Every structure is written in structure tokens, then in C-alpha cells.
Amino acid sequence: DAKTTQPNSMESNEEEPVHLPCNHSTISGTDYIHWYRQLPSQGPEYVIHGLTSNVNNRMASLAIAEDRKSSTLILHRATLRDAAVYYCILRDFPRGSNYKLTFGKGTLLTVNP
């Protein structure tokens, strides 16, 4: 899977929006952009994914740049429960489903009360 680059850490205040960036300049046309997060002492949790268009679900929004070389995960109102490491991953189609997930270092999000 192609490489992604994320900031090591970010900080936010409770109830404020958070924009988590991810660069993926070598993305291919068939790569899906996935986001996962991992809370302390828990397994990773799927957040959202997209291909070209912006996506919304109950957890977050994913904004994808027009050239697809970057994306941003948006948490609309951060809560203390959102404090976690966030991973941006590219998954290749068609083989992506059967293959392992490779997590990079991710972004450690701290949410201040």
C-alpha cells in the first residue's frame, strides 16, 4: 500500500472541531483512503473511508482533495472520548480486502477539557 504522512500529534479543546491531515502524494487511482483510530488499551476502530468524494458518517467527515494527494478527517465536536491515535491508510482495490492493514505511526490526538 502507498505511503501516508501524518503529524505526530495534535491537540484540541473539547467541543471544538478537529481537522486531522494526511498526505498521500503517491496515491494511485484505485486506492481507497481509510481512517482508523485506536483508543488506549483497545483495538483499532474503523472510522471512515472514501475514494474521491467527501464522505460523512455518524463519527466523522472525510474531505478529499481534488487531486487526491491529501485528505482531512474532521471531527465536528471533539469529546474526551475522541482522544486516540488516528491512522490514515491507503487500501488498494481489488486486493485490499484480503490483505493486512499496515498502520504507520498515526497522529496522537489530545483533547483538553
Partner 1 sequence: DVKVTQSSRYLVKRTGEKVFLECVQDMDHENMFWYRQDPGLGLRLIYFSYDVKMKEKGDIPEGYSVSREKKERFSLILESASTNQTSMYLCASSHRGGGNQPQHFGDGTRLSIL
Secondary structure of 55-92 as H, E, C letters: EECCCCEEEECCCCCEEEEEECCCCHHHCEEEEEEEEE
| From 3-11, 14-22, 67-75, 102-110, span contacting partner 1 (CB under 8 A) | 102-110
Which residues, numbered 19-78, are part of the site for partner 1 (CB under 8 A)?
30-32, 34, 41-46, 49, 51
Bridge partner list, 25: none
Q: What's the closest the beta carbon of residue 13 comes to partner 1, in angstroms?
A: 28
Grid cell 500529534 in the structure block, residue: 9
Decide if residue 97 touches partner 1 (CB under 8 A).
Answer: yes
Q: What's the closest the beta carbon of residue 91 comes to partner 1, in angstroms?
A: 4
Distances (CA, A) of 81 to 8, 23, 46, 51, 113: 19, 25, 15, 27, 11
Count of residues that interact with partner 1, criterion CB under 8 A: 25
Q: What's the closest the beta carbon of residue 33 comes to partner 1, in angstroms?
A: 10
Residue 23 amino acid letter: N
94 cis-preceded (ω within 30 degrees of 0): yes
Q: What's the closest the beta carbon of residue 16 comes to partner 1, in angstroms?
A: 27
> Which residues of the shown chain bind partner 1 in the complex (CB under 8 A)?
30-32, 34, 41-46, 49, 51, 91-98, 100-104
